[in-house]
Amino acid sequence: MTIAFEVRGEHIQLDQLLKTTGLCHSGGQAHAEIDAGKVRVDGEVETRRRAKLHPGQRVEYAGETVVLGALRS
């Protein structure tokens, strides 16, 4: 399944994205999954918990894909 997520501002941190989208139930779970190498950003494993994600990037985790877009005002 693909989730479209609109980024407010310039970026969102990876751990916050996983929590905000409901893919992880807590920050602790998000950190554990990132540390375990279970999260991919633009096809590459990402192990930085607070990696800054920008519109146009894709995050893959647990069979889900999150596509980041820019919030239009």
Taken in order of first residue, the domains within the chain and their CATH numbers are 2-70 (3.10.290.10)
If phi > 0 it is left, if psi is from -120 to 50 it is alpha, else beta; for residue 43 that is: left
For the chain, what percent of residues have pLDDT higher than 90? 93
User: What pLDDT does residue 40 have?
Assistant: 98
User: What pLDDT does residue 73 have?
Assistant: 60
The answer on pLDDT for 56 being more than 80 is yes
Element (H, E) at 18: helix 14-20
The answer on pLDDT for 63 being more than 70 is yes
Q: Which of 40, 18, 22 is nearest to 31 (CA)?
A: 18
Query: Where are the extended beta strands (E) located within the chain?
Result: 2-7, 12-13, 40-41, 44-45, 52-53, 58-61, 64-70
